[in-house]
Amino acid sequence: MNDMVLISTDDHICEPPNLFDNHLSGEALAKAPKLKTDKNGKNYWSYQGKTKPGIGLNAVVGRPLEEYGMEPNALEDMRAGCYDVHARVNDMNVDGIAVQMNFGNSIGFDNDTFHQAEDKDLALTHLRAWNDWHVDEWCGAYPGRFIPLAILPTWDMKAMLAEIKRMADKGVTAVSMSENPTKQGLPSIHNEYWTPFFKAIADHDMSIALHIGSGNPVPHASMETPIEAWITTMPLSISVGAADWLQLKALHDYPNLRVALSESSIGWIPYFLERADFSNWRHKAWTNSRFQDIKPSELFRRHFLCCFIDDAFGLKHLDEVGEDIVAFETDYPHSDAVWPNAAEHLWEQVKHLSDAQIAKVTHENAMRFFRFDPFQHIPREELTVGALRAKAAAANVDTTPVSTGGARPVEEGVDRPVTSGDLGVMFHKHATTIAETESAA
């Protein structure tokens, strides 16, 4: 276990309030997204007349498990590694994680904060500044420890192509976008609108990361359904997007186009591909399918990467999933993260594999897929689980759970499971408080 090198392909940042300070000035800085505090002491983001509350489950590492479903957080209620890059690296070290790839939180996994903004010229300015902060300050603070992940102004093709080139010139090899752009009022991925985008991504040898919940909703049966049912199905929700993207013409046009399914897990992939091949066999005679001389499963294994946090079944059946299309992730600081025990948790699920398979799953597939080599910056022997944890021990990184209290979704003594509706009521109250705070200001 201590010899493993772990690259996590999906983690998150709770952006700090000063993220725009070094990249904007004057009116552009004054009108940038602002982290504010409501009258109850809870943080929220405000931008162009719209607000975005914090979500408690997005930043719960270091809290007791019984507090995971509490009210949305303020920064001071979070572990510093959620928003401070130096503390983040300490938390990576104690978890045994060599490299992370970080999605934003305040902007949404699909950059929806900027998509919803009415003043798109201003939104473009702020989106570019977010990218500069992410690449130069967050990732740049520790070369080799972070895979930069850019966001794009997908509402404006000319601006998007320019940003792809600008990011490529800064060494960025991955971009994040919505798995279903129609949810943002944009054409579907099958529309000719996206043709220049896919060409640019292929030309610059970049990868596209699609995070669960970034476009297609994660459905739940009813507001009375226990919340655990909803959480259970979250990884499977990306199957809708995966099936859609598998039919993408660009995959046939560009052999090097790469699509990562972030937080997708892997155990369901064998049946998904079996079903895709069966459907193609039974229907390609009448559907004008592009899959005449190649099976969907073959194209999937050529172009897709599936990222998992916890998937003992998938790893037990790695031969059926495909050892070259699997990558590890921790999801720090979200509720699925098993920090600070990611290495132990993973080891129990991979120790039956060969050394070559473990290397692929833990770091080699991620390095190849995202065109990122941490060993160009840091010797391999300094990035193993054992070496990083020794560094964390020397730095006295404290992992003691810290209680922050807060209101529970249901009152003590209520004899029923917490439901989706309970959390909805809690967040509605928070949204009402935010509206009152904004109105008073």
Q: For residues 112 and 212, give the distance between their C-alpha atoms in angstroms, rounded to a whole number.
A: 14
pLDDT of residue 56: 65
pLDDT grade for 40, boundaries at 50, 70 and 90: confident
Confidence of residue 25 (pLDDT cuts 50, 70, 90): very high
pLDDT mean over 296-317: 98
Mean pLDDT, residues 348-373? 98
Each residue of 152-175: pLDDT tens digit?
A: 999 999 999 999 999 999 999 999
| pLDDT confidence tier of residue 72, bands split at 50, 70 and 90 | low
CB atoms under 10 Å from CB of 402, counted, come to: 13
| Domain 6-440 falls under CATH 3.90.950.10 | no
pLDDT at residue 363 greater than cutoff 90: yes
- Cα–Cα distance measured from residue 292 to residue 208, given in angstroms and rounded to the nearest whole number: 26
Give pLDDT tens digits for 227-279.
Answer: 999 999 999 999 999 999 999 999 999 999 999 999 999 999 999 999 999 99
Pull the structure tokens for residue 118: 């009415």
pLDDT, residue 278, reads 98
- Where residue 430 falls among pLDDT bands split at 50, 70, 90? confident
Q: What is the identity of the amino acid at 326? A: V
How high does pLDDT run on average in the chain? Answer: 95
Burial 198-218 (b: 16+ CB within 10 A, else e): bebbbebebbbbbbbbbbbee
* Mean pLDDT, residues 193-205: 98
* Per-residue model confidence (pLDDT) at position 111: 86
- For residue 110, the model assigns a pLDDT of 77
pLDDT in tens, 383-393: 999 999 999 99
Sequence ranges of the domains in the chain: 6-440
Strands in 225-313 per DSSP E = 258-262, 304-308
